[in-house]
Amino acid sequence: MFQPGVLPSLLAALIFGVYLFVYKRSFADLPSPVYVATVELAGLAWYTVVAAVTWPAGAPLVPPTFDAGDALLLLGICAAIAAANLVSIHAFKLGDVSYVAPLNKLAPAFVLPIEVAVLAAAPTAFQTAGLALAVVAIYVANYEGGGLATPFRRAAGYAPARLALLGAVLFALSDVGFRALLSGTDLTPQAVALASFAAVAIAALPLALRRVEWHRLRPAVPGIAALAAFFAVAVHLKTIAFDVAAASVVSPIVNTQAVVAVVLGGLLLGERGLPRRLGAAVLAVSGVALIAAG
């Protein structure tokens, strides 16, 4: 018998991992902003239906206590999520999914330094060990021989690595803000999820319109719309999990999507270095688990 939150977390991790694989296999030839704008608009449409069906009875879209400060925090979260999605999808476009996934899913590892810097939090021994494992994961993902510092130089100079890690930092910032918003206001998780879908679409649209090639996009729209339905379901499952279980339970499970993406990329796309990249993914997830448990 699963404890609350575990089953939706597992399902969300599986869907997110498959989502990354399908993007890389089928849609990575599209310009990143074009893909992001299309999938987020379709995801917004799908999630509107999901939110309407699951909305808590009697809960308003905007609670009476929602003030200007809360609105600014929501805008900041949405901006971070939009930037994180655009940067991360471009990382997956440029690099192997089995390489980018372990780095991009280190977002919880960046939450800890943010909390230490901003909130003066004192990390526990578990969290410190988890952060060390996250650094080792970056090292392993970039190890291809050479001197001791070579993997870190490769990560600093390789665009997919830089973008994947930047995306992880941006996701970490949005996670910190998301937790603050939900704990400090009466907004429903569905309302915040709807706002994030809309924000990413709005941010991507101006960039997409400058680069869109309609003859390439039109045939891809049905497939992207279908993929967006699965993405919307995964977002909702993650929302449900965080609503009924502690972050220390949900976060490590959801981030096993990195392992799913690595395995699918290595086995079905023939990406090289599967054992090493799978090891990096396991280290990344283990580091996240220690940080969450701390």
Taking only the tens place, the pLDDT of each residue in 195-215 is 999 999 999 999 999 999 999
Low-confidence stretches of the chain (pLDDT < 50) are: none
Instruction: Judge if pTM exceeds 0.85.
Output: yes
Closest CA to 173 of 77, 51, 73, 36: 77
Position 121 scores a pLDDT of 64
* Domain assignment present for 1: no
Kindly state the greatest CA–CA separation across the chain: 61
Position 294 scores a pLDDT of 66
Position 247 scores a pLDDT of 65
* Domain assignment present for 244: yes
As for how many domains the chain has, the answer is: 1
Position 104 scores a pLDDT of 87
DSSP state of 26: I
Q: What is the CA radius of gyration of the chain?
A: 19
CA distance 230 to 232: 5
Question: 230-282 pLDDT, tens per residue?
Answer: 999 998 898 888 777 766 667 778 888 888 898 898 888 888 888 888 888 88
CA distance 289 to 253: 8
DSSP state of 55: P
| Residue 285, CA distances (Å) to 100, 109, 220, 292 in order | 14, 10, 33, 10
| Residue 51, CA distances (Å) to 72, 185, 233 in order | 23, 18, 10
* Domain assignment present for 199: yes
CA distance 278 to 101: 10
CA distance 232 to 226: 10
Position 281 scores a pLDDT of 85
* Domain assignment present for 64: yes
* Domain assignment present for 217: yes
Domain enclosing residue 54, as ranges = 6-293
